[in-house]
Amino acid sequence: MNKLSVIAGKSSEDLAKKLSKKIKANLVKSEIRIFADGESKITLNGKISKNRAIVVQSIYPPVDTNLIQALLLISKAKETSSEVIAVIPYMGYARQDREFLPGEIVTMKVLGKLFKGAGASKIIAVDIHSMIGFKHFTIKTKNVSAITELVQYIKKLSLKNPLVVSPDQGGKERAKEFAKELGSEYIALEKTRDRKTGKVQIKTNNIDVANRDLILVDDIISTGGSIVKATQFLKKQKCKKIYVACTHALLINDAEKRIKKAGVTKIVSANTIPGKTSIVDISNIIAKAI
């Protein structure tokens, strides 16, 4: 029997398939049945290695369903394999890593206990929203970045005098790293977000981006509110084309449509979450991490 098995969760089938080829592991597929009451029933097709099993399951919407399925897959893998590595390309709940307002539950602390209890010996995530979340885990954790792969794709677009832009100060380091690999400059806009309403406002004064192609860089695009606001602001500064590069394109509801309407030429994202924009494969960086 192969010493490595990759168990493909339904939320990450394509990525798991690519990963299994990279690391020469046998692929174990999962069949999911969702009952009328919302319960998940999983059946695995294939033999799991006794040495090491790698479960690949992204926790994007429906977040709770995909989380439960990840835990079920880990638990089943642990019955056979002595080591279970959980590859969670998109770590749902990563934004709930601390108590922002009194009484809030730190969900990442609970997730740390759940993954350990299910039988995971190590967690690998891609561009987790905040490393603080992993501080709540008592098992091994590793975060890998999709920036290099995203930059390689952007380089193919032959942009005119490109400038990397972070939509907020929180993403400044990401923009700096992206710009360094691209060989360009970067800036970070200043925004405010109302913690209760979620409303976003750009506070930055006028900046010189005239006649330059811009790359808005972020880790997660959910509703697209921050990207839309940033795009509208940058368009007023007479820039040329605006591209968006992100790791996780959740693009909830009509987010993609609204982003394009605001003036974005193209959205480029990694395949941590499958979708139309997920054109950058990150199986190679996960293979290296394993």
Band of residue 148 on the pLDDT scale cut at 50, 70, 90:
very high
On the question of pLDDT at 179 being above 90, the answer is yes
Q: 194 exposed, middle or buried (CB, 10 Å; 0-12, 13-18, 19+)?
A: exposed
pLDDT at 153: 97
Q: What is the set of active-site residues?
A: 191
212 and 160 in contact (C-beta within 8 Å)? yes
Domain 147-271 maps to which CATH number in 3.40.50.2020, 1.10.40.50, 3.30.9.10, 3.30.565.10? 3.40.50.2020
Mean pLDDT for 164-184 is 95
Q: 138 exposed, middle or buried (CB, 10 Å; 0-12, 13-18, 19+)?
A: exposed
pLDDT at 160: 87
pLDDT at 180: 97
- Domain positions in the chain: 4-145+282-289, 147-271
On the question of pLDDT at 173 being above 80, the answer is yes
The topology under which CATH files domain 4-145+282-289 is Rossmann fold (3.40.50)
Neighbours of 142 (CB within 10 A): 16
| pLDDT tens-place string over residues 271-282 | 999 999 999 999
pLDDT at 207: 82
pLDDT at 1: 52
pLDDT at 202: 76
Give the residue, 42 or 206, on which the prediction is more confident: 42
On the question of pLDDT at 235 being above 70, the answer is yes
Give the residue, 121 or 206, on which the prediction is more confident: 121
